[in-house]
Amino acid sequence: MKLVPLFCFAVLTPTVAASGAHRAFAQDAAPPVAPPPSTVVRNLSPIDLQPLEVAIPPAKEFTLPNGGHIFIVEDARTPLVTFSISVRAGELMETNAGRGVASLAALCLREGTKTYSAEKIAELEDKYGASFNASAGDERVTATLSCLIENADELLPVLAELVYAPTFPAQRVKQVQTRLVANAVARQNDPNRQAAEALNKAMYGETSVFGRPAPTPEQIGAVAPEQVTAFHARFYRPDSALIGVAGNVKADTTGSVLLREFGSQRNPDAPAPVLPAAVFVAQGTSDGSAAPVPIVVNRPGSAQTVLSFGVPGINRRDPEYFPLLLANRILGGGFNSRLNQKLREEKGYTYGARSTVNAPKWTGTWTASASVRNAVTANAATDFLNEFVRLQTVPPKAGELDLIKQALIGSFALTLESPGAVLSRSIERYEYGLPADYWNTYAARVRAVTPEDVVRVARQYLGSGNAKTASAKVWSVAVGEAAQIETGFRMAVAPDAEAGKTVKPPVVTPVPNAGER
């Protein structure tokens, strides 16, 4: 059994993995030395665009025989080491008949394995000051171990069993399930979540996995223990595993240990499941001249309205990512953004207005939101639309854009201050299929965006794309006391629809995903 290396280890074979199997980390951990060439190079000036450059030490990578991909970041500045393993078993993989099973399976990983009971796992955490955690995201479940390097030999086999050999004891699964149901009840009453879910449903369509709301308390409570076991058997596959290590380790020895712990698990015979293509629902007036039909979610007794707006966006590999990143920063990506300055500082409608570009592997969204008083709902909605149009017609000044670029580059640099953060960036680059030099050219890509680029992408995504005219063709949602806000909100965001124009039925348009890895 041989590894498929993406770089050359000094010695990395199953024989080496077997020898010294019990004390590999404790014997071979690198002594404290000076850190690698600076991750972030700073000058004295906080505004000049030239001083701040970003250079990420590359993770060392290789592929296990069963398809798992490993990333190792060597950094001797800390005695801690962080291990992570993620598999493609997140909420998007659930069927409609099994909603809630992904989170339940993830949170039950540490409730007992074939060798370690939940009590034993807790005892090991206390004994060594370590921590095991697991959580489910949209696409992936990630399990982590953080510990001192000298304790890694004893604790790493526990992490491997958490992921690949949990037993899901029925009583403990029920306890976790009860907590998840309680959390779901609280989540149902969150108006911000209601607005986000209504917006996703409207944009992606209610039959799409990308437009589904979070599982209800009833759905979570209906998940049977055997469903958890079956979900785990199908989706916790070694060939989808991304395994990361960051800390005071040596790549050759660490690779051998990871081969021993994560290289022998077998994949199911069935092909690996893949996500469906993302789709968006096209809505508007019959001639295509107006915005999608507005949505009001009634929340009786609410003193505030949550306003949420959105448009189809891009996937992570799209070349428009950096222009959109800068456009979003100007629109609502910071305290000094246009939305926040207008709605909070000038009008006093809200504590904060913001916008976000979400660019996953599939086609994501560009959204904006704020919570405002009921009495100003219509006026605030109008201000949102005006700012969407303004971004298409009023480019940022050169000096203004320079400051925003420097702030964005500085924020990015701050995310690289720990070995774990560098590891996360390395895994992100691999998972999204980005170029090898992507993070090292991040600053240059940000600086390359021009004021004209900002206006262009604003017109393309927020409006009609016409270079001579500007419009705000966005999906819009208001969550609040319908009797107080509905008429004004609808007139503000879709006056033509309210005037009686025929609205064409929804049309589903496929949008291809970025390539699967």
Summarised one tens digit per residue, pLDDT across range 377-417 is: 999 999 999 999 999 999 998 788 999 999 999 888 888 88
pLDDT at 9: 33
Mean pLDDT of 164-185: 96
Classify residue 114 by its DSSP letter: S
Give the other-Cβ count within 10 Å of 387's Cβ: 26
Choice between 27 and 430, residue whose per-residue pLDDT is larger? 430
Mean pLDDT of 319-324: 96
Place of tokens 């712990």: 261
pLDDT at 57: 79
Is a pLDDT exceeding 50 seen at residue 22?
A: no
CA-angle at 253, arms to 250 and 258, nearest 5°: 110
pLDDT at 212: 94
Alpha-helical regions (H) of 80-151 = 101-107, 118-128
Confidence of residue 39 (pLDDT cuts 50, 70, 90): very low
Is a pLDDT exceeding 80 seen at residue 376?
A: yes
Structure tokens, 21 = 């199997």
Residue count of the chain, please give it: 517
Is a pLDDT exceeding 60 seen at residue 494?
A: yes
Average pLDDT over all residues of the chain: 86
pLDDT at 432: 94
Region of 438 (left: φ > 0; alpha: ψ -120 to 50; beta: rest) is alpha
The model's pLDDT over 80-119, given as tens digits with 9 standing for 90+, comes to: 899 999 999 999 999 999 999 999 999 999 999 999 999 9
β strands within 348-474, DSSP E: 353-358, 365-373
Mean pLDDT of 203-216: 93
Is a pLDDT exceeding 50 seen at residue 1?
A: no
Place of tokens 């809200």: 350
Mean pLDDT of 186-192: 92
SS3 state at 75: coil
User: Sheet containing 295-298: which strands, arranged edge to edge?
Assistant: 295-298, 475-480, 304-312, 365-373, 353-358
pLDDT at 49: 46
pTM of the entire structure? 0.84
Lowest mean pLDDT among 19-28, 48-57, 250-259: 19-28
Mean pLDDT of 25-46: 49
Amino acid found at 491: M
Alpha-helical regions (H) of 132-190 = 152-164, 170-188
pLDDT at 26: 57
pLDDT at 469: 62
Residue 138: exposure state from Cβ atoms within 10 A (0-12, 13-18, ≥19): middle
**What percent of the chain is modeled with pLDDT above 90?**
71
Can you name the residues that pair with 461 across neighbouring β-strands?
none
pLDDT at 77: 82
Q: Which fold has domain 278-511?
A: Cytochrome Bc1 Complex; Chain A, domain 1 (3.30.830)
pLDDT at 139: 96
Structure tokens, 93 = 């993989």
**Alpha-carbon distance 246 to 39, whole Å?**
15
**What percent of the chain is modeled with pLDDT above 70?**
82
SS3 state at 227: helix
Is a pLDDT exceeding 80 seen at residue 156?
A: yes
Smallest CA-to-CA distance from 294 within 278, 280, 283, 303 is with 283
Smallest CA-to-CA distance from 208 within 319, 368, 367, 365 is with 365
**Alpha-carbon distance 208 to 277, whole Å?**
9
pLDDT at 127: 97
pLDDT at 415: 81
